[in-house]
């Protein structure tokens, strides 16, 4: 009998490599594969499933909206679209903002990139270690050479500077720069947290030269760090543009580009568009996510469970550093066996993610329980020992 993974290989483009598992269903922070094996999901669709799997509020919102009005295009307005835009500007505390709704983080960043061009300037300063997406524009802002080089030439005039280096920003930003784009915490780089004053310094530098501060909160936003947006954890940081996706839809595809002040009016009719962006179903899902985060106190839960996760990681031999905030955590291992740790964890019933040879990333659903994390704590010694041994056996 042909397995789902074998069918995948024969039908789906090989852009991701062979899938590690074939998953069949999920509930809360747990998923089951097609053989019926259960896993605690500490990846959450790459920080997407804020409410976990099959949350009743999300299921009800999508079902109700789809049975009423599914898609109408942006020739028309719908209540979920307008309500979501209003809700996002309210959560940001901006009374002079506008929202462009799209389908993904890459699209949110594409819109923001085009917005910066409407300033009349064409240079953008981004950070080394950054990840902003895989479309041609978003890729131009992403620093990893292996992602960029096969597709060059990319949209130009992007300058990369070391992350968390104020002097490097000061040297790079001048009156030709349209925007400085930064992640408050770098996710794909392994959950890299800058110094507390870095974003405020970036804002000062950008504004001193008439440039925009654009914060990519695709991974850090919507409660992931224990605040609605990671920059709200810091004093004096007020970006001009924020991009969102991932947790916003709880698993439904949606992105948002939010701009305030003069930046909110840079894109005008004919400058940009989307067919599916802002469709009623995705917006209804996003509103359900926001409502549930509030009603179930998931901002506080992100802090509490995040502290528990950081504490248990730090206790284990082999973990030399724990980074991050809330339920966005990185674990630095004492050797290059992160890939083996992911495999050993999977065998033990846990889904983890490696962002480099020595680095694990843990971004579980905001609904993950204390018991789930206790189970991880109990399994980690065997997982890490097994991974270390497997790495040593594979070393020539």
pLDDT recorded at residue 66? 97
pTM above 0.95, yes or no: yes
Is the per-residue pLDDT at 396 higher than 90? no
Ramachandran quadrant class, 379 (left: phi over 0; alpha: psi -120 to 50; beta: rest): alpha
Report, in angstroms and rounded to the nearest whole number, the Rg of the chain calculated over CA atoms.
21
> Residue 156 above 90 pLDDT?
no
Given a contact cutoff of 8 angstroms between Cβ atoms, the answer to whether 161 and 168 are in contact is yes
Calpha distance 133→148 (Å, rounded): 11
Which CATH number among 3.40.47.10, 3.50.50.60, 3.40.50.720, 3.90.1150.10 corresponds to the domain 4-54+297-394? 3.90.1150.10
Q: What is the pLDDT of residue 234?
A: 97
Average pLDDT, the chain: 97
Mean pLDDT of 315-321: 96
- What digits encode the pLDDT tens for the residues 27-68? 999 999 999 999 999 999 999 999 999 999 999 999 999 999
Average pLDDT over residues 160-186: 98
As a whole number, mean pLDDT of residues 362-368 equals 98
- Residues 6+ away with beta carbon under 8 Å from 2: none
Q: Which residues contact 147 (CB under 8 A, 6 or more apart)?
A: 134, 139
Active site residues: 131, 216, 246
**Rounded distance between C-alpha atoms, residue 341 and residue 352, angstroms:** 8
pLDDT value, residue 319? 98
Q: Name the residue among 350, 274, 309, 280 with its Cα closest to residue 100.
A: 274
User: Tokens 């290059």 correspond to what residue?
Assistant: 336
pLDDT beyond 80 at 395:
no
pLDDT for position 1: 76
Residue-wise pLDDT tens digits, 97-140:
999 999 999 999 999 999 999 999 999 999 999 999 999 999 99
Q: What are phi and psi of 252, to 5 degrees?
A: -85, 140
Contact 190, 355 (CB under 8 A): yes
The pLDDT-based confidence of 376 (bands split at 50, 70, 90) is: very high
Residue 180: both structure tokens together? 């400085």
DSSP code per residue over 96-156: SEEEEEESSHHHHHHHHHHHHHTTT--EEEEETT----SSHHHHHT---HHHHGGGPSPS-
Mean pLDDT of 338-348: 98
Bridge partners of residue 260, in order along the sequence:
97
pLDDT for 258-284, tens place per residue? 999 999 999 999 999 999 999 999 999
Q: Domain residue spans in the chain? A: 4-54+297-394, 59-295
* Residue closest to 144 by CA, chosen among 191, 193, 190, 189: 189
Supply the pLDDT for residue 394.
84
pLDDT band at 167 (very low <50, low <70, confident <90, very high): very high
CATH number for the domain whose boundaries are 59-295: 3.40.640.10
């Amino acid at each position: 009998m042909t397995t789902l993974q074998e069918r995948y290989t024969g039908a789906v483009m090989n852009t991701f490599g062979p899938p590690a598992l074939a998953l069949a269903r999920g509930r809360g922070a747990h998923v089951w594969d097609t053989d019926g094996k259960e896993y605690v999901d500490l990846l959450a669709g790459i920080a997407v499933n804020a409410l976990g799997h099959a949350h009743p509020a999300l299921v009800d919102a999508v079902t109700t909206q789809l049975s009423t009005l599914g898609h109408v295009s942006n020739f028309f307005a719908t209540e979920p679209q307008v309500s979501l835009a209003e809700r996002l500007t309210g959560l940001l505390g901006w009374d002079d903002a506008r929202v462009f709704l799209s389908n993904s983080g890459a699209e949110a960043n594409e819109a923001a990139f085009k917005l910066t061009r409407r300033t009349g300037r064409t240079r953008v300063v981004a950070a080394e270690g950054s990840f902003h997406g895989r479309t041609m524009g978003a890729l131009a802002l992403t620093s990893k050479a292996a992602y960029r080089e096969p597709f060059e030439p990319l949209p130009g005039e992007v300058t990369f500077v070391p992350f968390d280096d104020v002097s490097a920003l000061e040297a790079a930003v001048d009156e030709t720069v349209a925007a400085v784009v930064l992640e408050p915490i770098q996710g794909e780089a392994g959950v890299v947290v800058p110094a507390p004053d870095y974003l405020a310094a970036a804002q000062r530098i950008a504004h001193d030269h008439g440039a925009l501060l654009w914060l990519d909160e695709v991974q850090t936003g919507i409660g992931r760090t224990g605040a609605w947006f990671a920059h709200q954890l810091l004093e004096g940081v007020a970006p001009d543009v924020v991009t969102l996706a991932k947790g916003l839809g709880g698993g439904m595809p949606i992105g948002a580009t939010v701009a305030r002040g003069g930046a909110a009016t840079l894109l005008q009719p004919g400058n940009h568009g989307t067919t599916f962006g802002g469709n009623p179903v995705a917006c209804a899902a996003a509103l359900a996510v926001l409502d549930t985060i509030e009603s179930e106190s998931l901002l506080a839960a992100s802090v509490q469970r995040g502290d528990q996760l950081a504490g248990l990681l730090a206790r284990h031999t082999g973990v030399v550093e724990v980074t991050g905030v809330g339920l966005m955590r990185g674990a630095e291992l004492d050797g290059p066996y992160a890939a083996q740790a992911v495999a050993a964890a999977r065998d033990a019933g846990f889904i983890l993610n490696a962002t480099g040879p020595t680095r694990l990333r843990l971004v579980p659903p905001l609904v993950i329980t204390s018991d789930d994390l206790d189970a991880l704590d109990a399994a980690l010694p065997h997982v890490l020992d097994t991974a270390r041994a497997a790495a040593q056996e594979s070393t020539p």
